[in-house]
Amino acid sequence: MDKISLKELAFPIIKAIDSFNYLLKSHQRRTAVISYHIGKELGLPCGDIAELVVAAAMHDIGALSVQERDTLIKEDVENPSPHCLMGYKMLSMFDIFSGIAKIIRHHHIRYEDAGKYNEEIRFQSHIIHLADRVDIYLSPDQFILNQKARVTASILEKKGTVFHPDVCDAFERVSRADIFWIEINNLTMEQLFSRMNFLSSIELNREQIDQFALTISRIIDFRSRFTAGHAYTVGRLAQFIGQVLGLDDDMCEKLLIAGYFHDIGKIGIDTAYIEKCGQLTDEEYNMVKLHCYYSGQILSELNSSEWFRDVVKWSQHHHERLTGNGYPFAIKGEEIDTGTKIIAFSDMISALMEDRPYRKRMSIDTAFDIIDRYAAENIDPDMIKIIDRYKAEIETIVDQCKQRAESCYDESVEYA
């Protein structure tokens, strides 16, 4: 596998959070800009600044599954608060992000309470705490430079109690210049990352690729009990089907990852449609169809790695059909490659074998029957004939995945 930068790993996650909630999007970007300026002012080493900025850019990721999105952008929440722990949990399974996860875990800790914790509190957590509050104190209805004095005073009056004194001092110095405030409103995430040109590239091993993809898949899987584990199941099935079709190891690994990724674009779709009891209206269906396009957008950064290119393609093509009546590209025939067909099939079989708000899960025979009757021509009848011999194995995989997903989901809900 070729090398990949921290930016390429972070952007899919940042974009996934962004497409979920536009309020969170601007809040996280702004917190990252403020944190960056303070980190530079403090003279932190390059690696610490990189972790700080990535952590700030996804600091409220735990709020995707925890019902406190609205409160956390208003008042300072107690620590340890559910969204901090959840964010920590979501990211810590990917070892490249374990430092970032630790920073996020404590991003609402008051300075005077830091001693009460048995674990190490990373200095960057204190920076994000202050940066987060600067953004909350700023009103979107007033020109930012007119708020400089008021916001600075509100922060500095909590020096040594709520906020770390060194972080307060650095904030006081760096915020004297108007550019600090102007950039909160204007600097894009792209521009911010391009300032960190010291970011080195990382070569991920297989285990790390798996952890990374699972981290992303959990963002979407855990939004609804009905879809918990869907991406995981599609990945495992696609990998198995690749094996029975005789594809090489590397292709099978890519299929696993594409399965984990394929529905990430659903993060941008209203859960009400995904959990709707009953048939979607044409208008609702048109909205849901957007998810493939979003998947491609969210994962687009990964296209700079040769290895990930197929994975991104299969993810965004998983609703294309041989006959050309798929979406969103409406490609057809030979334009649809084997990987795309495998993901499309795995997606279908796994969806039919899952409970939905409006129906129970189907047996493997019924699911195959439906695909044979209504969908095989659209995917690849010859391929499906081969897969048909492995029904028992497929059923076992679906059951294993379902059990695993349910215990992970319950554990995460309990955690929250």
Cα–Cα dist 32/10, whole Å: 13
Query: Distance of CA 368 to CAs 75, 345, 363, 373, 391, Å?
Result: 52, 10, 9, 8, 9
Of the pair 88, 181, the CB lying nearest Fe ion is at 88
Handedness of CA 134, 136, 137, 143 (dihedral sign): positive
Of the pair 132, 210, the CB lying nearest Fe ion is at 132
Contact between 8 and Fe ion by CB under 5 A: the answer reads no
**CB under 8 Å to 99, separation ≥6 — which residues?**
51, 122
Q: What mask, x for binding Fe ion by CB under 5 A, covers residues 211 to 250?
A: ----------------------------------------
Q: Which residues pair with 4 in a beta bridge?
A: 202
Query: Distance of CA 149 to CAs 145, 278, 326, 341, Å?
Result: 8, 54, 56, 59
Q: Among residue numbers 320 through 349, which ones bind Fe ion (CB under 5 A)?
A: 347
Contact, 235 vs 257, CB < 8 A? Answer: yes
Cα–Cα dist 55/52, whole Å: 5
Segment interacting with Fe ion (CB under 5 A) among 130-138, 154-162, 181-189, 338-346? 130-138
For residue 108, the minimal CB distance to Fe ion (Å) is 6
Cα–Cα dist 230/346, whole Å: 10
For residue 346, the minimal CB distance to Fe ion (Å) is 9
Of the pair 7, 107, the CB lying nearest Fe ion is at 107
Segment interacting with Fe ion (CB under 5 A) among 32-40, 132-140, 206-214, 331-339? 132-140
Of the pair 181, 261, the CB lying nearest Fe ion is at 261
For residue 72, the minimal CB distance to Fe ion (Å) is 5
Cα–Cα dist 76/84, whole Å: 12
Cα–Cα dist 160/270, whole Å: 42
Contact between 72 and Fe ion by CB under 5 A: the answer reads yes
For residue 319, the minimal CB distance to Fe ion (Å) is 9
Q: Residue 249's CB: how many other CB atoms inside 10 A?
A: 11
Q: Residue 197's CB: how many other CB atoms inside 10 A?
A: 7
Segment interacting with Fe ion (CB under 5 A) among 66-74, 147-155, 320-328, 395-403? 66-74
Of the pair 199, 349, the CB lying nearest Fe ion is at 349
Q: Which of 8, 41, 51, 132 binds Fe ion (CB under 5 A)?
A: 132
Two tokens, residue 16: 């996934």
For residue 198, the minimal CB distance to Fe ion (Å) is 26
The candidate with the shortest Cα–Cα distance to 380, out of 350, 347, 340, 351, is 340
Of the pair 210, 263, the CB lying nearest Fe ion is at 263
Q: Which of 41, 51, 263, 310 binds Fe ion (CB under 5 A)?
A: 263
| Size of the residue set binding Fe ion (CB under 5 A) | 5
Segment interacting with Fe ion (CB under 5 A) among 34-42, 68-76, 146-154, 164-172? 68-76
Contact between 60 and Fe ion by CB under 5 A: the answer reads yes
Amino acid at 99: G
Q: Give the residues lining the site for Fe ion (CB under 5 A).
A: 60, 72, 132, 263, 347
